[in-house]
Amino acid sequence: MLKVYALTPDLHEIALSDVSALDAVSRQLPQGLYSTFRTYAGRRKVLGLEMHLDRLYAPLPALGIRALSSPAGLRAALREVLAAFPAEEARVRVTLSTTQEAGTLFLALEPLRAPDETVYQHGVRVMFAPVERKTPRLKTTAFIGESEAARAFLQQSGAYEALMTRNGKILEGLTSNFYAVRAGTIFTAREGILLGVTRRYVLRLARANGIGIAYRPPRVDELAAWDEAFITSSGRGVVPVTQIENQPVGSGQVGEIARLLRRVYDSYVVKKAEWI
């Protein structure tokens, strides 16, 4: 059950031929900027909603586009559709068209399917993908199409996520940010990536807990020296990575830093998620 609405600025539901998944919806909408997030507190709160909306509105002056609804109007529309959405929590994608009908906003909602607890307790296997974002600081729906082959291969492989690399350096995942841990320090790229909302909170929490951070992309040829690794995203939080391709990360078990950051992040969400 997936619902799609347009905000022009009047709010109305629209019908699409394929509503099997959010990516399928994105392929049918005009290309533009987007952000995806999950709700909390019975579809009434979102962590970092202001930052998610800034991702849509901040680039508009440089693009010469005016949104057909203000951030306040978008929040009101989100409250309305989420209040009526028949699921305990929702995964939401907001798209702002920069092509056809430029400035139009589209809201897509699906029931939240949180990862199984085994994902957090045992970690996941990820793979490498030969793709990268052309405009990493902008989250554009064009990238969904550009990475379609990598996404299809990921699904066939059974891996949990695909990591994008450049010149032997790991940048980020298709739908997540990536981190390696060595000797108690987190290594993560800062250039050439989408600066995720969850990434900002997790790194802030890491510093608050005395964990060092090195803004340097982990190298593929350093994998054997890592103690642990993890990925982050709005819908999944902190997910431990215990295997890359066919090689275990560290001991092949979930690491202490990933466990700690998952615990403090989940606690932070409860306290800091903002009202829509």
Q: For CATH 3.20.10.10, list the domain ranges present in the chain.
A: 117-271
Neighbouring residues of 13: CB distance < 8 A, sequence distance ≥ 6:
3, 4, 5
Strands 45-46 and 274-275: antiparallel
- Contact criterion met (CB below 8 Å) for 224 and 109: no
pLDDT attached to residue 133: 87
| Joined tokens for residue 2 | 């997936």
pLDDT attached to residue 155: 83
Instruction: Give 140's DSSP letter.
Output: B
Neighbouring residues of 79: CB distance < 8 A, sequence distance ≥ 6:
44, 276
Q: For CATH 3.30.470.10, list the domain ranges present in the chain.
A: 3-111
Chain-centre distance of CA 270, in angstroms? 19
Each residue's pLDDT tens digit, 147-167: 888 888 888 889 999 999 999
* The architecture CATH gives domain 117-271: Alpha-Beta Barrel (3.20)
Helix (H, G, I), strand (E, B) or coil at 73: helix
What is the secondary structure of 212-276 as a DSSP string? EEE-SPPBGGGGGG-SEEEEEETTTEEEEEEEETTEESTTSS--HHHHHHHHHHHHHHHHHPEE-
- Does 126 have pLDDT greater than 90? yes
Instruction: Give 217's DSSP letter.
Output: P
* The architecture CATH gives domain 3-111: 2-Layer Sandwich (3.30)
Q: Cα separations (Å) of 193 from 4, 9, 139, 216?
A: 28, 32, 10, 12
pLDDT attached to residue 27: 95
Q: Which amino acid is at 99?
A: T
Each residue's pLDDT tens digit, 43-73: 999 999 999 999 999 999 999 999 999 999 9
